[in-house]
Structure formats: C-alpha cells, structure tokens
Amino acid sequence: MEAFETEVFPIFLRLEGRTVLVVGGGEIATRKVTDLLVAKARVKVVTKEASETITALVAEGKIELALHAFEPTDVDGAWFIISATNDSAVNGEVSKMAEARRIFICSVDDPEHASAYFGGIVRRPPFLISISSSGALPAMTRLLRQVIESVIPEDALIDDARELRASWKKNNVPMGARFPELVKLIAARAEKETPR
C-alpha cells in the first residue's frame, strides 16, 4: 500500500506565533504563505526566487525570506514545514530533514514526501471545514469543497443559531434537547424563504 493511501488522523493546528517554514517561492507557495498569515503563523520562506507577493510581504515585515537553496539548518525552530517546489529531489531532501527532526511536513502535490496533507478548506465563520483525500484525489477534494460551500447556512441563520445557543445555556437546556430545536429553526427559516 502506498503511503498516501494509508489512514490519516484529521487535526487542526494552532499556529499563531509559531514558525512555519515554506520551501519554494512560486504561486503555490504564495497561496500557502497567505493561508499561514491568516492563521497568524510566523512564516519563513526559503527559495532561490520569490514571487512578487512574497517579496511585498517581506517588505511589509510580515514574513521572513531567505533567498538561497534549501539547507538543513533552515528547519531550525520550525513547528511545521510546507515544501512547495516542483522539484521532487528538493522535496525529498526537505522531507528527510523534517523526519529527522520530528517535524510534520506537507509536500504539495508530492504525497510520497509528506507526513501531513492539506485539505480543501471552507471558511465561513464560525465554521472551518477541511476535506482531504490524503493527497490521492486533489481535484475531487476541490469539487467536494465547492459542494459543501454551497450548502453552508447563510449569516442570518448562523446568527439565529448563536441566539438559540445563548438561550439554551441561560435556561440549562440539556444537550439531547438542543438538536431537535436547531432542526426546527432551520426548517422554519427554509419554509419562510421558499417562494410560493
């Protein structure tokens, strides 16, 4: 069985204030850097050539940039590593160093060199949903992400659910009674919004 077909453990990481190493400076690396900044990670990029966006983020003081080929010492202090190069040999070297230091690594589009995998992300506060095929079917993962995005409740329903939860807590409504009330709320709103 290939490595990316094995069972994985789903988890969300709190990266705020923690160093994440990104190896690579192209389009994919740039997207990952942007996502890491949303998570408030301390981002260090190692690449021989950086995109305009990465260069601008360095100028703004938002990330650190080392313009050189990957070196083993680049992993020092990292909590997590993203290897976003199109060079399997480089990804393999980064992966080897990550493994030696017991640091999880996501090697973009190179699951053989990864110990972690990105999922398709849906962000609709307060929801954060990740869908993963463990790197085996990225296009299908993207399709599922789009389907889920289309069915997540709108802000008004989320606000109603927050008010309902506050009421439950205030009135000590037991957990077992809460779900049916939420279903009634959703059904009532759907009926109100259905054209006649």
Contacts of 39 (CB under 8 A, 6+ apart): 13, 14, 15, 16
Does pLDDT of 1 surpass 60? no
What pLDDT, on the 0 to 100 scale, is given for residue 177?
85
Does pLDDT of 3 surpass 80? no
The residue ranges of every structural domain in the chain are: 3-118, 155-193
Coil, strand or helix at 140: helix
How far apart CA 180 and CA 182 sit, in angstroms, is 5
User: Whole-model pTM above 0.85?
Assistant: no
Considering just the CA atoms, what is the radius of gyration of the chain in Å?
21
Does pLDDT of 178 surpass 60? yes
Mean model confidence pLDDT for the chain: 88
Coil, strand or helix at 173: coil
Take residue 126 and report the two structure tokens written for it: 């307060």
What pLDDT, on the 0 to 100 scale, is given for residue 6?
59
Confidence of residue 90 (pLDDT cuts 50, 70, 90): very high
Q: Which residue has the higher pLDDT, 3 or 77?
A: 77
Does 3.40.50.720 match the CATH number of domain 3-118? yes
Residues in the chain: 196
What pLDDT, on the 0 to 100 scale, is given for residue 196?
57
Does pLDDT of 59 surpass 50? yes
How many C-beta atoms lie closer than 10 Å to residue 137's C-beta?
Answer: 13
Q: Which residue has the higher pLDDT, 29 or 137?
A: 29
Does pLDDT of 121 surpass 90? no
pLDDT in tens, 7-49: 778 888 999 999 999 999 999 999 999 999 999 999 999 999 9
